[in-house]
Amino acid sequence: MAAEIVNPRSDSDGTTDEELFDPAFALHRGGKMAVQATVPMRDRDDLSLAYTPGVAKVCSAIAEQPELVHDYTWKSQVVAVVTDGSAVLGLGDIGPEASLPVMEGKAILFKQFGGVDAVPIALDCRDVDEIVDTVARLAPSFGGINLEDISAPRCFEIERRLQERVDIPIFHDDQHGTAVVTLAALRNAAQLTGRPIGGLRAVISGAGAAGVAIAKILVEAGIGDVAVCDRKGIVSAERADLTDVKRDLAGFTNKAGLTGSLEQALDGADVFIGVSGGTVPESAVATMAKDAMIFAMANPNPEIHPDVAHKYAAVVATGRSDFPNQINNVLAFPGIFAGALQVRASRITEGMKLAAAEALAAVVADELSADRVIPSPFDERVAPAVTAAVAAAARAEGVARR
């Protein structure tokens, strides 16, 4: 039975005690962002330039040469943060209105950590066709689209179909941002423990958006082997209950042909990556290889608590900010989009993601310790390094337009 929801005491104006005294409510009141002009509006001359009649000249020029939109509007500097509210943080399907505080938060992270302007857009629809059509029609206003908190497996199809329809980057951060930061941390953890990535066997708990993307980027990076587990155990080609996404996943993972449970997969594994929630028994953790790497990223409760993980692992990471080695997407998406926008990339490729991971890992490569295999989100070196690497990779892969 669901827990009963008890409303806190409300004053005559409808304000509750919680809203009065909780600093989170105080910070969010009125929203966390606003639009600000970048040009003066002091007098009639300013008005005639910023709006009519001056604006007509710019509109006519763009009509004749559409590429000028990048030079004379905000298009090349702004991203849409789009959700349907179906998989918001650890809250699940809470709907578009309730998702807006998160989307606003994402937008200010873009600005703070990457210098990229972003607009939160919460859509009141769940149909894949409708979402794709709506976002594609909005695309002329933006230089990129960051899909956020959309449930799997719809998120995979939405991203793919949108990228087929528009020529600006489509990036599902829950997938690729998580994957980039995970790979960066794993590169440094492998270096710290003196093992090449090609010699590691990893186990991923969770076959949703993040788990699939992490598996893909680890394979692209040359991991020795990776097995992905869902609620029914190891995703393998022998299972008859796989979705199309998991069937594809089985085709490029689990070269060892393992079957059975997550606990069985962990026996002798070098790496555990948790993006699923739940709890992994300590008895299973104890069967992992010596000097294992444990990235238990469920929030707020990691799949393996750090106190347990440290008994068996050389490197431990979580998704929490109160433990060392936080796997935080903010280390990736601002710089990735900043780099893509800088060169007016038409898409974000696997090569650009790999370049982002390598650049992120390199930021602390000379400062490695068990508690420092990934930079802090407040490390000012992060965004410039990722931005430069992504822009260079876009040019190398032929998706840059300047």
Binding residues for a divalent metal cation: 148-149, 174
Handedness of CA 210, 337, 107, 58 (dihedral sign): negative
Which is the catalytic residue, given 106, 216, 246, 353?
Answer: 106
- Binding-site residues for (S)-malate: 299, 328
Structure tokens at 275: 């993006």
Cβ neighbours of residue 112 under 8 Å, at least 6 residues apart? 334
Cβ neighbours of residue 279 under 8 Å, at least 6 residues apart? 301, 303, 304
CA gap 234, 261 in Å, rounded? 6
Neighbours of 279 (CB within 10 A): 14
Question: Catalytic: 106?
Answer: yes
CA gap 112, 132 in Å, rounded? 29
Question: Catalytic: 32?
Answer: no
Contact call for residues 261 and 234 (beta carbons, < 8 A): yes
The amino acid sitting at 63 is: A
Contact call for residues 139 and 168 (beta carbons, < 8 A): yes
Contact call for residues 264 and 234 (beta carbons, < 8 A): yes
Task: Please choose, from the candidates 318, 320, 399, the residue with its C-alpha nearest in 3D space to the C-alpha of residue 353.
Answer: 399
Q: On the CB side of 125, how many CA atoms lie within 13 Å of its CA?
A: 13
Residues involved in catalysis: 51, 106
